[in-house]
A and B are shown apart, each in its own frame.
Chain A
Amino acid sequence: MSTLAHDDHHDHKPTGLKRWFFSTNHKDIGTLYLIFALTMFFVGGSMAMIIRAELFQPGLQFVDPQFYNSMVTVHALIMIFGAVMPAGVGLANWMIPLMIGAPDMALPRMNNMSFWILPFAFALLISTLFMEGGGPAGGWTMYPPLVLQTGNAFPFLIFAIHFLGVSSIMGAINIIATVFNMRAPGMTLMKMPLFVWTWVITSFLLIAALPVLAGGVTMLLTDKYFGTSFFDAAGGGDPVLFQHIFWFFGHPEVYILALPAFGIVSQVIPAFARKPLFGYASMVYATASIAILSFFVWAHHMFTVGLPIKGELFFMYATMLIAVPTGVKVFNWVATMWKGAMTFETPMLFSIAFVILFTIGGFSGLMLGITPVDFQYHDTYFVVAHFHYVLLTGAVFALMSAVYYWLPKWTGYMYDERLGKIHFWLSLISSNVLFFPQHFLGLAGMPRRIPDYNIQFADFNAISSIGGFAYGLTQLLFVYIVLKCALGGKKAKPRVWEGAKGLEWYVPSPAPFHTFETPPKLTKEMLEH
């Protein structure tokens, strides 16, 4: 098999700290992002373990309610902004230039900066946990007036969010600039792999949504310290306005987390079904229409604030409408598998689990979108179960799938397939034990964000906690598998998977430090997907 890389002796790279701190190489920065995301996954995960330990049985055993609330708050912020988003950006950094035949990202220095902002932002956020008065404890949604009762942690929270926003926007600009300017000749937009497409659309979402959040939290800041009253009824403001601003960002944010996952699954399933992706064009259009619709559904997070009935109806219809393009995607994945010649390596297993479990999350999402019934579901564990199905067994499973899929390309070695499969099955079982009972808890009337509960909820909470601990432990196995693979093992071929399509499989494994320094000449075969 021919490869498009330069000879290895050309492949010099800086060494030591300099390589990582001053890196402008998309692969190194991608690696940094991925390592950072994994670290944050464990930091946020240990907070989840504290939450599940406290909820293991009724009564208050380990933490104070105030600390519990700050765990709930910081867990969410870390998992969303620190784990899932950076992991997605890391994959984008690593793979987009390889997939479109570009030598690097378009703006390499900005790329470096957008990563190195993150550790500082999270240092700010996590440091608040050690302050007098504790970390932010008003929920990650930061609704005023409650969030204005936060102590010294408040300005840290706001500035951390500003930093995260700046970092994400720079990352998004970089991806857009790269994709629109640096594609190899012949790589037209509708020839791009779907992963690239989903990231382009995600980038537009980021650029449109995050500044709105930045505006909103800045208003919180001035309300608290500079005497404005955007959200203070006493000065003519309205606390509900913040919720509108927050969710105008917040709903697109959900798709910022989910769309790259759609992209990953659309790469993995065709590879292991040895069959082209079904309905490529409709996938692109479905992704774009989900992104556009996501700006018109925000108030479904606020059905109980007392919206006028016309508003409630509008947002109910718009929300239900999202089910259509999402359905198209699921059907396309199933059709891709249909009459394929499938094998079930770890990436494929995670992707299939994604399709099923994300769809379950989508089903409960459809139910939540029905306004009158949402009056019962809202702010209960049914919602908690819903968004964890979408984000953990959805987004995180897809990210796991991506890591297994491309890990041999990154390290040059095959990961341990047997351990990978064990990791998959344990994750699959434990995450369902963790989150499925939470549907029942919510339906039975358990509100979210409470540190202690009535005894009628005891059984399901205990089951859920056991699932939680099992899931947490299982992820240590993942770290072991990745480390083992990075250090050695069976040599990986350039085309790691028999059915894998795309330009990234035409460079050697591991991918050399510099690739595509001169634009590759693309053949018809290279452009298949």
Chain B
Amino acid sequence: MFGFGYAMVPLYDVFCDITGINGKTSRVVENKNQSNVVSDRWVKVKFDANINGNLPWRLKPQVRNMKVQPGQFYEATYIVENMLDVDIVGQAIPSVSPQIASLYFKKSECFCFVNQLLKGYETKEMVVRFEVDKDLPDDVSSLTLSYTFFRAKSGNS
């Protein structure tokens, strides 16, 4: 059962992937052709940004709202700024709400895939390329994509 406690970690990840718990959006999709645009349905996507703890960064989305058509790829830009004169590595964690929508929110390119290094006082534009799946349930008319930047763990030294 001790091992079971540990086994819960990967199991939980799989479980979250399937159910979309916590709005985790770990899926990466191939950047397919954009020929399969469907329907005249429009979905509102809100962009939100958070900084965790004492990371002296500023993060904000360039646009706060976007209307998108499911099945179509879009790009959104976040602006991130280091307010200190030292180099800092951060890691962005995405979260989508409502939870059910995270299953249908797919990113082909995202600054959250890897650690990000910002030099002292550096400002960077970071891009996320995403698609809302056309199977998005009908009752979801708007969703929120939220990023939180954490100070990256220093790794095992």
Contact, chains A and B (beta carbon distance below 8 A): yes
Residues of chain A at interface, number, CB under 8 A: 32
Write out the residue numbers on chain A whose beta carbons fall within 8 Å of the beta carbon of B52.
Answer: 233-234
Contact A241 B8 (CB under 8 A): yes
Write out the residue numbers on chain B whose beta carbons fall within 8 Å of the beta carbon of A244.
Answer: 8, 12
**Is A310 at the interface (CB under 8 A from chain B)?**
yes
Write out the residue numbers on chain B whose beta carbons fall within 8 Å of the beta carbon of A16.
Answer: none
A-B contact pairs, 11 of them (CB 8 A): A212-B1, A212-B8, A219-B9, A227-B154, A233-B52, A233-B150, A234-B52, A238-B16, A241-B9, A241-B12, A307-B21
**Is B155 at the interface (CB under 8 A from chain A)?**
yes
Write out the residue numbers on chain B whose beta carbons fall within 8 Å of the beta carbon of A310.
Answer: 19
Q: Which of B2-23 contact A (CB under 8 A)?
A: 2-6, 8-9, 12, 16, 19-22
Shortest CB-to-CB span from B10 to chain A, Å, is 11
Listed residue (B5, B9, B93) with the most chain A CB atoms within 10 angstroms of its CB = B5
Q: Given A233-B93, A235-B91, A308-B19, verify A215-B153 contact (CB < 8 Å).
A: no
Q: Which of A200-222 contact B (CB under 8 A)?
A: 207-216, 218-219
Q: Given A233-B93, A238-B22, verify A215-B5 contact (CB < 8 Å).
A: yes
User: How far is B100's CA from A226's CA once the two chains are assembled, in angstroms?
Assistant: 35
Contact A245 B1 (CB under 8 A): no
Which of A207, A212, A240 lies in contact with B5, CB distance below 8 A?
A212
Contact B21 A227 (CB under 8 A): no
Beta-carbon nearest neighbor of B91 in chain A: A234
Q: Given A209-B1, A308-B99, A308-B100, verify A234-B153 contact (CB < 8 Å).
A: yes
Q: Given A216-B5, A311-B21, verify A235-B153 contact (CB < 8 Å).
A: yes
Q: Please give me the 10 A-B residue pairs with the lowest Cβ-Cβ distance, nearest first.
A: A215-B5, A234-B150, A211-B1, A211-B2, A212-B5, A235-B153, A215-B2, A233-B93, A227-B156, A308-B19
Shortest CB-to-CB span from B54 to chain A, Å, is 12
User: How far is B8's CA from A214's CA once the two chains are assembled, in angstroms?
Assistant: 13
* A interface: dominant SS: helix
Q: Mark B132-143, 1 if CB is under 8 A from A, else 0.
A: 000000000000
**Is A229 at the interface (CB under 8 A from chain B)?**
yes
Which of A210, A214, A233, A308 lies in contact with B148, CB distance below 8 A?
A233
Listed residue (A215, A234, A310) with the most chain B CB atoms within 10 angstroms of its CB = A234
**Is B38 at the interface (CB under 8 A from chain A)?**
no
**Is A28 at the interface (CB under 8 A from chain B)?**
no
Q: Given A227-B153, A227-B155, A238-B12, verify A306-B1 contact (CB < 8 Å).
A: no
Which of A209, A215, A234, A236 lies in contact with B151, CB distance below 8 A?
A234
Write out the residue numbers on chain B whose beta carbons fall within 8 Å of the beta carbon of A207.
Answer: 1
**Is B63 at the interface (CB under 8 A from chain A)?**
no
Write out the residue numbers on chain A whose beta carbons fall within 8 Å of the beta carbon of B29.
Answer: none
Beta-carbon nearest neighbor of A169 in chain B: B1
Beta-carbon nearest neighbor of B95 in chain A: A233
Contact B3 A215 (CB under 8 A): yes
Contact A214 B5 (CB under 8 A): yes
Contact A308 B20 (CB under 8 A): yes
What is the interface of chain B, defined by CB distance below 8 A to chain A?
A: 1-6, 8-9, 12, 16, 19-22, 24, 52, 91, 93, 99-100, 148, 150-156
Write out the residue numbers on chain A whose beta carbons fall within 8 Å of the beta carbon of B20.
Answer: 308
Beta-carbon nearest neighbor of A307 in chain B: B21
Contact B6 A229 (CB under 8 A): no
Beta-carbon nearest neighbor of A234 in chain B: B150
**Is A230 at the interface (CB under 8 A from chain B)?**
yes
Which of A211, A226, A236, A306 lies in contact with B4, CB distance below 8 A?
A211
Contact B154 A306 (CB under 8 A): no
Contact A212 B2 (CB under 8 A): yes
Contact A245 B8 (CB under 8 A): yes
User: How far is B98's CA from A306's CA once the two chains are assembled, in angstroms?
Assistant: 10
User: How far is B117's CA from A282's CA once the two chains are assembled, in angstroms?
Assistant: 64
Shortest CB-to-CB span from B102 to chain A, Å, is 10
Beta-carbon nearest neighbor of A210 in chain B: B1
Write out the residue numbers on chain A whose beta carbons fall within 8 Å of the beta carbon of B4.
Answer: 211-212, 215
Shortest CB-to-CB span from A294 to chain B, Å, is 14
Write out the residue numbers on chain A whose beta carbons fall within 8 Å of the beta carbon of B100.
Answer: 308
Write out the residue numbers on chain B whose beta carbons fall within 8 Å of the beta carbon of A248.
Answer: 5, 8
Write out the residue numbers on chain A whose beta carbons fall within 8 Å of the beta carbon of B22.
Answer: 238, 240, 306
Shortest CB-to-CB span from B114 to chain A, Å, is 12
Write out the residue numbers on chain B whose beta carbons fall within 8 Å of the beta carbon of A212.
Answer: 1-2, 4-5, 8
Q: Given A234-B152, A234-B153, verify A245-B21 contact (CB < 8 Å).
A: no
Shortest CB-to-CB span from B88 to chain A, Å, is 13
**Is A232 at the interface (CB under 8 A from chain B)?**
yes
Shortest CB-to-CB span from A208 to chain B, Å, is 5
